[in-house]
Amino acid sequence: MKKAVNSKFLVKISCIVGIFVISLFAFFFVFTALRTKGSVFSMKNQMDGASFIEKLRKFDENLYQYTQMRREANLDIMQSLLNALEKSAVGAEGELSVLKRWRKLVKLESTLVLEYEAAAERAVDRFPHSTVIAALAGEARVEARGTGSEETREKLRSYARVLSNAGPLAESSSMPLAFCFYALSDSLQNAKAARGTGKIDELFLIALRNFDGIEAEAMLINAALLKIVDSKKDEAAAFLVPLNMEAPKSNRARSFFANYAYDFGDPLRAAELWTQQEKAELGDIARAADAFYLAGRTANALQLWQLLARNTKNNTSDKKINLQSLYNIAALAEKASDRIAALEELLAHAEGDLSSSSALYGMALYTRLINEDRAIALLEEIVRTTKLPLFDLELFRHKLNKSHIDRAIADTWLLIDRNPLDSFIYRWAAWYFDFQRRFTETDFLISTAEKRGISGSWILLNQALNFMRDEDYTAALEELEQIARMPQDENDVSLEEDMWPGSANKALILEARHDFRGAYEHYKRARDTITLTENAYSIHKNSKRQSAARLELKMARCLTILGRKEEARQAVLNAAALDGDNINVRVALNRL
């Protein structure tokens, strides 16, 4: 199962443009209130103060006339006056006086917005540490060019850095605006980008003091998400207290807490929250079904999947949910006839399109359940029309029982040659060669795969098994350790499938060395990994239960040697629950 919380969701601010406008006006109002009086008197100290003030007044008179009559002559005069004012302005105060008037003019005549932006950028070049000039330059840039270009986004980031480095007196007004500039520049779209802003925690906390309602809720959730990404779950929980995790009021909070519960080990709570959504969408119901299944509420999960299976809308997302639900129903059906019926409905809804994983694996499972001759005829047609490696392999496996072992080995190499770059085919061939004890074939297969650029955990696992056969346990352990260190990829099913055999084989080596404590820990890790990878999508569910039962017995043996009799007893009972027909499990039960 994939994690519910997607890191790309991390800091999406739904109303950021509105926040930006509110923040900018708040910032401008505060700053103007503090400085308007001082700016007029400071002009008297400039070298050409009287001339500058006279030009300011003349501009204001023309602006008033233009406001009343919209005369073109006044507009030309005002542009000339602003250009002259800019040249004679001294200090940041003078620049601010000019930019304030540019801003007023642009509100009346939007065609001058590019001239306003250019004047603001020139002011930033002259006074790069002025917070108010950075604020106005950011506004002018967004109004003139939007936020679509990387150049604009980089400008907004630079203005945000100026604002976020403001002193404590300007903190309450500049920090929310810095936050908005970062959001508009796409610097808060994921955790990595957000961390690059430098003061992201301060920005969130200060921004929270300035906003409420929907905006505050979004910030609390996103601040918590950043802490979760940093593996600081307790700090994340502190942000979530105001939102009331037990009874969230909004759909946004309810959806977040459902994802939170799903990822942190409470799938039942996640399912409850998803089903409580107002006007729950099909995606919410599908996630609730998955969560119920993980929580062991299979009946609830099936009920929801059956509901989703009745949805036959043709849009892509709904159809995908429909096919997934039918596959899950088939995978969990106890009777072969019920499985076949669900899969036939799935394939009918897919309409010959095998591009979705549900249709692809649904067809593969279907061919394993129907008559052999019919399955071979169907697979031959699919291979002829689609050239998909999975069905080439399925067809080969169906014909395998009718072939002599030497012919089967040769045909396996022909299968590989038809699919020279498909790593799954190589992985299956390695298993088959080992199963037939054709270890020289396995060695040559690994060599061929590496020459063709094929890699994967299966190579390390097979090399470890080779070393174990040669009783070179140190080298085997090194290979198995490499599997454990491989980066996790939620889309790499083969790594998940190799993780538990890797841990189990490591346990065998440690047990042979009489390190029973270490062996028990690795058997347990292997057992837990099987539990994690077993789900409704697995067509090998029963074999996994059998493997898990064997691991429980091995855990029981180690625990008995360690003197932990009650834990050993429980491990045997667990094995019986998983695979009660296993003769070794029965023997162990009789010994209790």
pLDDT at res. 310:
86
Angle at 520 between CA 518 and CA 524, to 5 degrees: 120
DSSP codes joined into one string, 424-488: HHHHHHHHHHHHTT-HHHHHHHHHHHHHTT---HHHHHHHHHHHHHTT-HHHHHHHHHHHHHSPP
- The structure tokens listed for 254 are 């309810």
- Contact residues for 176 (Cβ-Cβ < 8 A; gap 6+): 19, 23, 26, 27, 206, 207, 210, 211
**Mean pLDDT, the chain cut into blocks of 10 residues (592 residues total):** 45 40 41 37 38 77 71 68 78 83 83 85 87 86 84 83 66 69 73 65 66 72 78 78 69 83 87 84 90 91 92 76 93 91 93 89 93 93 91 92 88 95 92 92 94 89 88 88 70 62 86 89 87 45 78 91 91 87 79 73
pLDDT at res. 312:
66
- Contact residues for 540 (Cβ-Cβ < 8 A; gap 6+): none
pLDDT at res. 40:
31
pLDDT at res. 198:
60
Q: What are the tens digits of pLDDT across the range 199-214?
A: 666 666 666 666 667 7
pLDDT at res. 202:
67
Q: What are the tens digits of pLDDT across the range 333-379?
A: 989 999 999 999 999 998 888 988 899 999 999 999 999 999 999 99
- Contact residues for 299 (Cβ-Cβ < 8 A; gap 6+): none
pLDDT at res. 4:
52
pLDDT at res. 148:
80
Dihedral of CA 338/343/348/350: which sign? positive
pLDDT at res. 297:
92
- Contact residues for 146 (Cβ-Cβ < 8 A; gap 6+): 152
Instruction: Measure the CA–CA gap between 459 and 193, rounded to whole angstroms.
Output: 36
- Contact residues for 307 (Cβ-Cβ < 8 A; gap 6+): 285
* Torsion angle defined by CA atoms of residues 479, 480, 484 and 486, in that order, rounded to the nearest 10 degrees: 30
- C-alpha Rg value of the chain to the nearest Å: 34
pTM for the whole thing?
0.63
Give the long-range contacts of residues 428-431, CB within 8 A, separation 24 or more. 428/393, 430/458, 430/459, 430/462
